[in-house]
Amino acid sequence: MNPLELTLGIMTAVGGFVDISELVFAAKAGSTFGYALIWAFALATIGIIVFSEMSGRVAAVAHQPVFSLMRHRLGLKLGLVTLAASMIANLITCAAELGGVALILNYMTGAPYLLMAVLMALVMVVSIWILPFEWIERIYGLLGLFMLVFAAALIAIHPPWHQIAAGFVPHIPAGLSTKEMLKFGYFVVAITSAVMFPYEVYFYSSGGIEEGWGIKDILTNRVTAILGMGLGSTLAIAILASSAQLFGAANVDPVIPGSAALEAAIPFGKWGLVVALLGMLFAVAGAAVETCLANAYSIAQFFGWIWGRHKKPWEAPRFTLTWITLFALALAIVVTGVDVMTLVEFAILFSILVLPLTYLPLLLLAGDKKYMGKHVNGPLAKILGWLYFAIITAAALAAIPLYILTSGGNS
Amino acid sequence: MTPDSPIKLVSELLDLPLYDSEQKYCGVVDDVELKGGPGKDLELVALLAGPGAYKTRLPGWAMWLVGKIAGDRVTRIPMEKVRSIDTVVNLECPGRDLGLHRTEIAAGNWIPRWGAL
Amino acid sequence: MRGKPLLLALFVAGCSKGPDADLQYIGEARSAAAEWALVNDQAAQGRLSGAYVTSMHKWLRDDLQTSLSSLTERNSVYGAEIQALLLQPDDAAPEALRAHAARLKQIEDSLESA
């Protein structure tokens, strides 16, 4: 294990953890339910750690990313359904992230939202074209570390730490009306979806192939998944906790992504605001890049095309044309003027519905001795894997009813 | 598993990745070609790759859609060219000898060859 | 298909009128007003950049306008509150904005307990 590589990997994961959906839902969860939803973030983070570790291990041992093997395990028809569903979910997510980036630039500079969307789409396409894979991941991830200001901001406002600690224990707050209970349930489902977005596993496993992982990298993969995502989730939880204290008390239910930046401005003033906005910009931009590439990986791997940013763009032409087209489609969605919050809500809804189909092949593959040899799922991975599969299936089944009954969490 | 093993392995063969003799990824096994018929022994003659191959495994409407977007091309890989089959299919010769990646090379003409680090 | 239950729910929701149907928008307007007050408060203390404040004002106003347009009973007490809010200048005093927010919260609470 190369310590520098490991540290960079962890820091990249921390900086890249938060995306527009987690940002928005952390702030909303805090203002609406105080510290009571911290456990939802923690629980979902354990889930994404489990599946990221698994997908990285499959990439390192079988040298195949998840989607390549998915067609073989699920068969062509079910595989195609999964591909179509995850394509739609990832595209909506990409549009939400792109819209989020445009919004954040608007907060920072006042420049028109649509112009910023077009500009940032171009910047991201150019950056993916020019930079090799490691640089793409590293630059967006490490610059996302500006998000650490949110952790500092929480400490600076002297929150009730014992209440925050109590929030980690899974519970439903007492005294909720039926309507509030449904809303709480919707938030739990939404947070699970936002933290465990399908694109993360596709990107992570394809990324492992891009970086040429082998058996020697299994431990690095495990440590990066646990520490990187674990620490990254503390940033989301910090946003939640600050929101509980600052927004909840002020009767504010933030629906604009820009509201989160106030959490850093209140304790630290202008520089806190600027650093928070920069962190949000790079974290969300990184997510836009990842969702787009994850979609391109899925499509190329499913149809058997040459894929990967470890190849030059002209060496994997259909893959290149795919990710450029996907960015154009995401931009088209943003340009229709649909609200970023609406995109976030649909991204969350579609993603949770796709999640069980996404994780099932991964679970089966990582537990298959034929592919994994002695690195097959051990008892802990098996138990956690199937437990979380049950959890996300339950969440997927509850998602649409809860969405309708709570008017998308706005009731 | 060697190429002349019994036919029950067909379902395990479908949708496996293809790697050529240079360890280059060449696509996916989209369908298989069998010889024989009712009452006779079935023999695995070739592997098929390309939209023309997997199209036939899809429902009707999807077949039409794929035909419109991706076309009908089928690349045939005779079983003699298959070296071994485990979690992937390994071929005896380079992919280009069999005509794999023709579409890829054609698509490559659309991409400018500059700028990438 | 996924769209149908959604459409049905929207249809049902659209059919209902009156304060209960408007509860969601009253809450959104209350939140926007409270956040506007918070932004102006922090701006007065020099903690925010000009571009950010201008931007937040625009998006919060958009929110209030959307809430107003979504009301089924625009000529109600809460409708009037929201319209009064929209007439406020961007740099209105936080106390004035909070007063509106507090009144909307009162209406919200009384509707929820009814």
Mean pLDDT for chain A overall: 93
Alpha carbon distance C17, B56 (integer Å): 53
Cβ separation of B110 and A79 shorter than 8 Å?
no
Alpha carbon distance A261, C52 (integer Å): 10
Per-window interface: B 81-100 vs A, CB < 8 A: 86-88
Task: Give the pLDDT score at C35.
Answer: 96
A270 in reach of chain C (CB within 8 A): yes
Token pair recorded at residue C67: 């809430």
Task: Give the pLDDT score at B104.
Answer: 80
Closest Cα in chain A to C38:
A250
Per-window interface: A 75-94 vs B, CB < 8 A: 75-77, 79-80
Contact call for residues A105 and A284 (beta carbons, < 8 A): no
Indicate the SS3 state at residue B6.
coil
Question: How distant, in Å, are the alpha carbons of A121, A279, A337, A338, A339 from that of A114?
Answer: 11, 21, 8, 11, 12
Q: How far is A319 from chain B (nearest CA, A)?
A: 9
Q: How many domains does chain C have?
A: 1
Q: Tell me: the pLDDT tens digits for A334-384?
A: 999 999 999 999 999 999 999 998 899 899 889 989 888 999 999 999 999
pLDDT for A181 beyond 90: yes
User: Between A251, A265, A270, which is nearest C34 by CB?
Assistant: A251
Measured over the CA atoms of residue A312, residue A317, residue A323 and residue A329, the dihedral's sign is positive
A186 in reach of chain C (CB within 8 A): no
Choose the weakest-confidence range: A377-381, A394-398, B106-110, C72-76.
Answer: B106-110
Q: Is residue C6 part of a domain?
A: no
Neighbours of C96 (CB within 10 A): 16
Q: Tell me: the pLDDT tens digits for A129-170?
A: 999 888 888 899 999 999 999 999 999 999 999 999 999 999
B117 in reach of chain A (CB within 8 A): yes
Q: Tell me: the pLDDT tens digits for A194-208?
A: 999 989 988 988 988
Q: Which residue has the higher pLDDT, A326 or B89?
A: A326
For residue B107, the chain A residues in CB contact (below 8 A) are 317-318, 321
Cβ separation of A371 and B87 shorter than 8 Å?
yes
For residue B28, the chain A residues in CB contact (below 8 A) are 68, 71, 303-304
Task: Give the pLDDT score at A397.
Answer: 96
User: What's the average model confidence in pLDDT over A174-181?
Assistant: 91
A217 CB-contact burial (10 Å; exposed 0-12 / middle 13-18 / buried 19+): buried
Which segments in chain C show pLDDT lower than 50?
1, 14
Cβ separation of A314 and B113 shorter than 8 Å?
yes
Give the ipTM: 0.90
Per-window interface: B 54-83 vs A, CB < 8 A: 54, 57-59, 62, 70
A108 in reach of chain C (CB within 8 A): yes
C6 in reach of chain A (CB within 8 A): yes
Cβ separation of B15 and A131 shorter than 8 Å?
no
Q: Which residue has the higher pLDDT, B12 or C34?
A: C34
Q: Tell me: the pLDDT tens digits for B95-105?
A: 778 887 777 88
Chains touching B by CB (3 or more pairs below 8 Å): A
Cβ separation of A270 and C47 shorter than 8 Å?
yes
User: What's the average model confidence in pLDDT over A274-289?
Assistant: 96
DSSP A155: H
Task: Give the pLDDT score at C61.
Answer: 95
Structural domains of chain B in order of their starting residue, each with its CATH number: 7-108 (2.30.30.240)
The one-letter amino acid code at C75 reads: N
Task: Give the pLDDT score at A411.
Answer: 67
* pLDDT band at residue B1 using 50, 70 and 90 as cut-offs: very low
Alpha carbon distance B34, A157 (integer Å): 72
Alpha carbon distance A46, B103 (integer Å): 42
* pLDDT band at residue A319 using 50, 70 and 90 as cut-offs: very high
Q: Which domain holds residue C57?
A: 17-113
User: What's the average model confidence in pLDDT over B58-84?
Assistant: 81
Cβ separation of A314 and B112 shorter than 8 Å?
yes
Q: Tell me: the pLDDT tens digits for A44-71?
A: 999 999 999 999 999 899 887 778 777 8
* pLDDT band at residue B8 using 50, 70 and 90 as cut-offs: low
User: What's the average model confidence in pLDDT over A104-115?
Assistant: 96
Structural domains of chain A in order of their starting residue, each with its CATH number: 3-405 (1.20.1740.10)
Q: Is residue C62 part of a domain?
A: yes
User: What's the average model confidence in pLDDT over B38-42?
Assistant: 77
User: Between B17, B54, B111, which is nearest A68 by CB?
Assistant: B17
B16 in reach of chain A (CB within 8 A): yes
Q: How far is B17 from chain A (nearest CA, A)?
A: 7
b/e per residue A101-140 (b: at least 16 CB within 10 A): bbbbbbbbeeeebeebbeebbeebbeebbebebbebbbbb
pLDDT for A409 beyond 70: yes
Alpha carbon distance B116, A320 (integer Å): 12
pLDDT for A302 beyond 70: yes
Choose the weakest-confidence range: A236-245, B5-14, C40-49.
Answer: B5-14
Q: Which residue has the higher pLDDT, C16 or A125?
A: A125
* pLDDT band at residue A123 using 50, 70 and 90 as cut-offs: very high
Q: Is residue C11 part of a domain?
A: no
Contact call for residues A207 and A133 (beta carbons, < 8 A): yes
Rg (CA), chain B: 16
